[in-house]
Amino acid sequence: MRHVLVTGAGSGIGREVALAFARGGDALTIADLHADALAETAELALEAGAASCATTTVDLRGADAHDTLMEAAWATAPVDVLVSSAGVYPATPFLELDAATWDLVLDVNTRAPVLLTVALARRAIAAGRGASVVSISSGAALRARPGAAPYSTSKAALEAATRASALELGRHGIRVNAVAPGFVTVDSTVNPVTEEYANAVGDTPLGRRGTPADIARAVVWIAGDEAEWITGEVLRVDGGSSTGAWHLPQHWTAIGQEEQA
């Protein structure tokens, strides 16, 4: 049985990740900004088979929030797995971007998971223990999206930090990886008959949008012993959308050039 700390566990991917570990009988500490949603996840986790489930309501933008959260989790039991799933995505056109929005996104999406990893690593090394860290990145780290300059930047930085921390922490038995989802439907009320939905599916070779469960399975796997010789990697769970421009026609002709026979 492992002790797993999951941030952003109140909904979406974070909740599904917590439930996936719960089904394996692990002990959980789950954190989120929203207390009511967090309590609902805790109830679901215990029903799913979690050995225990402690909850912590936290705003990860706080100056010492990362250390306070890790200290609270560690007081229950040493943390074996950290999953940083908390994130924000305020869609903002580039010309409307301001410092407050930029700071918010970088603080939550990059600073918090990096400093949580530092807080875990310090405690694990002092205790002579290994650990596994998995951060939730995004396909936006590689493929820019309109209105997502801070989000794309935050996820690209998170992937760089994943590699850098894995390099330094490996000798201590601490693995650091990331999982980068493609387009995932986290709201069951989303209408699939829309142009936006169709475009996302059309850009995915496997022909459907992902689900939180798709991401959770990948997180549990890369966090576990079956992936014990993997560190510093970004596992892209995106139905193949990062492989190339799937939606383009097979006989693409460059603008201003004639097709060659």
Query: Which residue's entry shows tokens 């309501």?
Result: 57
Quote the pLDDT of residue 260.
Answer: 47
Assigned token pair, 142: 């590689």
How far lies 33's CA from each of 7, 30, 86, 247, 251, in Å? Answer: 9, 11, 9, 38, 49
Q: CA-CA distance, 32 to 207, in Å (whole number)?
A: 32
pTM of the model: 0.91
Using DSSP's 3-state secondary structure scheme, residue 19 falls into: helix
Catalytic residues: 151
Q: Are residues 22 and 69 in contact, defined by beta-carbon separation less than 8 angstroms?
A: no
pLDDT, one tens digit for every residue, the chain (261 residues): 999 999 999 999 999 999 999 999 999 999 999 999 999 999 999 999 999 999 999 999 999 999 999 999 999 999 999 999 999 999 999 999 999 999 999 999 999 999 999 999 999 999 999 999 999 999 999 998 899 999 999 999 999 999 999 999 999 999 999 999 999 988 654 555 566 666 667 778 888 889 999 999 999 999 999 999 999 999 999 988 888 766 666 655 555 555 444
| CA atoms within a 13 Å half-sphere pointing along the CA-CB vector of 237 | 22
Contacts with 227 (C-beta within 8 Å, 6 or more apart), sequence order: 175, 177, 221
CA 181, 107, 14, 192 dihedral sign is negative
Q: Among 237, 239, 179, which Cα is nearest to 209's?
A: 239
Using DSSP's 3-state secondary structure scheme, residue 3 falls into: strand
Quote the pLDDT of residue 259.
Answer: 47
Domains of the chain, residue spans: 3-237
CATH number at 3-237: 3.40.50.720
